[in-house]
């Protein structure tokens, strides 16, 4: 058997094992990412990353995978569906007394789930190879161009909202990668299918998609509620509505998400009724309750103070109510200066 055929066979096996471990799709890409350098650098220079300093750092590692794993030859790119419920999601978004949490964060922290599966896949590959090869795995954890790599690996195309889209699966999925020095055969990328549709651009509550394929992260509700640690600029607070952790609007409206599949991953099923948490009850949570409710969830990462900050904005946007004013004011004495300012803003909205 010559080397070429050998690696074709290995690639075929890897794809089959990846599916056995629960990934919904897998593709292989080469490591030529140079063409992404200029648009990426321009994006950073424009300041669209806001306070996400990690996007500015280690840029060279993104375009040259060998800087993360010496002599990287190929990237195994995987996709895992996470959508835990169907249309119920929209009911929560429309009920302004409910704390709307992004669909991706209703279950277990995806970093843990995907990492565990990737580890199993690497162990399986290693145990089936006669020769020593090297691997390094990632999911939203390092300077890796995950969407660009998945696009090259044929897992879909980048939509105008900047997320990866797939004809049969929409966009409700996570991405993960294995860098390796195995010279695996690359898959073909797919064509783009957004056409003249601009639904995601038009629906965005804060007009964060400033042009097709270009997001000003500083305006994105996902950034404002998750990544941004400081005071939320007043100009975005009304538009945030009841979205207290992330935002899904550009995905809800995308016509390709008609084809999205409900996740078959038990870890992503809704925990603790997080799809119907009341804003009032969310604001009443003690630090201990917060830790208990969100242990093992991606939400835990934002911390208690930022959670209360986000809920205060949600309460400010809820239908006018005396009870809400009372609940908000009950925290004024113990609040940090950031939280206090959000509480006062929220109370003002009820007058
Ligand atoms: C930083 C980050 C964010 C930031 C910035 C998002 C962004 N679009 O850049 C914030 C906090 C806002 C965010 C939000 C979300 N994120 Co996020 N995020 C990331 C992260 C860590 C890095 C992305 C990045 O490098 N951005 C920097 C800029 C420069 O990259 P870019 O937009 O991709 O820019 C490229 C293109 O736009 C292109 N380009 C520019 N101009 C043009 C013009 C044309 C014509 C073309 C063709 C291309 C093009 O060139 C640029 C350089 O390559 C990735 C994980 C990873 N390591 O890749 C996850 C990731 C992209 N996020 C993910 C998710 C799920 C989300 C949310 C849906 C979460 C939520 N529900 O709240 C939202 C969606 C918001 C949105 N519409 O993007 C998933 C997406 C999965 C998928 N299906 O694609 C990822 C891949 C994480 C994962 N492992 O699964 N995220
Ligand atoms: S996640 Fe929400 S705020 Fe961010 S681009 Fe999409 S619709 Fe706009």
Give the residue extent of every domain in the chain.
3-86+107-180, 208-262+276-349
Of 140, 267, 275, 289, the catalytic one is 140
Cα–Cα distance, 121 to 127 (Å, whole number) = 10
Residue 141: pLDDT over 90: no
Closest ligand to residue 24's CA = 1
Write down the pLDDT at residue 91. 79
Closest ligand to residue 41's CA = 1
Q: Is the CB of 160 under 6 A from ligand 2?
A: no
| Segment holding 305, helix H or strand E | helix 303-316
Secondary structure (3-state) at 335:
coil
Residue 4: pLDDT over 50: no
Give the model confidence (pLDDT) of 242-300 as tens digits: 999 999 999 999 999 999 999 999 999 999 999 999 999 999 999 999 999 999 999 99
* pTM recorded for the entire structure: 0.96
Q: Is the CB of 226 under 6 A from ligand 2?
A: no
Q: Which of 70-79, 80-89, 145-154, 172-181 has the lowest mean pLDDT?
A: 80-89
State the chain's mean pLDDT as an integer: 95
Nearest atom (ligand 2) to Cα of 200: 7
Q: Is the CB of 250 under 6 A from ligand 1?
A: yes
Torsion sign, CA atoms 104, 107, 111, 115: negative
Give the model confidence (pLDDT) of 77-97 as tens digits: 999 999 998 656 677 889 999
Q: Is the CB of 213 under 6 A from ligand 1?
A: yes
Q: Is the CB of 209 under 6 A from ligand 2?
A: yes
pLDDT band for 11, please (50, 70, 90 cuts): very high
pLDDT band for 1, please (50, 70, 90 cuts): very low
Torsion sign, CA atoms 216, 218, 221, 227: positive
Give the model confidence (pLDDT) of 98-135 as tens digits: 999 999 999 999 999 999 999 999 999 999 998 899 99
Active site residue 291: no
Residue from 61, 138, 146 whose mutation best tests the ligand 1 pocket (most atoms within 8 A of CB): 146
Cα–Cα distance, 283 to 254 (Å, whole number) = 32
Give the residue, by CA position, lying nearest to ligand 1 atom 52.
40
Q: Is the CB of 165 under 6 A from ligand 1?
A: no
């Amino acid at each position: 058997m010559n080397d070429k055929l050998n690696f074709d066979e290995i690639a075929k096996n890897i794809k089959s094992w990846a599916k056995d471990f629960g990934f919904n799709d897998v593709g292989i890409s080469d490591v030529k990412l140079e063409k992404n350098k200029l648009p990426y650098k321009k994006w950073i220079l424009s300041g669209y990353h806001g306070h996400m300093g990690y996007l500015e750092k280690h840029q060279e590692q993104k375009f040259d995978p060998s800087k993360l794993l010496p002599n990287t030859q190929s990237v195994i790119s995987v996709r895992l569906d996470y959508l835990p419920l169907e249309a119920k999601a929209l009911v929560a978004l429309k009920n302004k007394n409910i704390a709307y949490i992004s669909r991706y964060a209703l279950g277990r922290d995806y970093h843990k789930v995907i990492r565990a599966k990737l580890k199993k896949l690497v162990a399986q590959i290693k145990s089936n190879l006669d020769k020593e090869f090297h691997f390094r795995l990632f999911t939203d954890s390092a300077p890796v161009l995950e969407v660009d790599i998945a696009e090259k690996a044929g897992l879909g195309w980048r939509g105008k909202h900047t997320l990866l889209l797939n004809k049969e699966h929409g966009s409700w999925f996570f991405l993960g990668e294995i860098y390796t020095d195995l010279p695996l055969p690359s898959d073909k990328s797919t064509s783009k299918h957004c056409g003249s549709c601009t639904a995601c651009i038009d629906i965005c509550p804060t007009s964060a998609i400033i042009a097709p394929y270009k997001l000003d992260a500083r305006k994105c509700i996902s950034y404002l509620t998750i990544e941004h640690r400081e005071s939320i600029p007043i100009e975005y607070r009304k538009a945030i509505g009841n979205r207290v952790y992330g935002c899904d609007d550009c995905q809800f409206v995308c016509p390709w998400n008609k084809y999205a599949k409900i996740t078959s991953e038990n870890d992503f099923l809704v925990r603790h009724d997080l799809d119907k948490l009341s804003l009032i009850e969310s604001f009443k949570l003690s630090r201990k309750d917060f830790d208990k409710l969100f242990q093992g969830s991606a939400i835990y990462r934002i911390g208690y103070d930022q959670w209360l900050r986000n809920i205060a904005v949600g309460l400010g946007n809820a239908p006018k109510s005396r009870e809400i004013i009372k609940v908000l004011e009950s925290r004024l004495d113990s609040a940090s200066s950031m939280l206090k300012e959000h509480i006062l803003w929220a109370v003002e909205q009820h007058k």
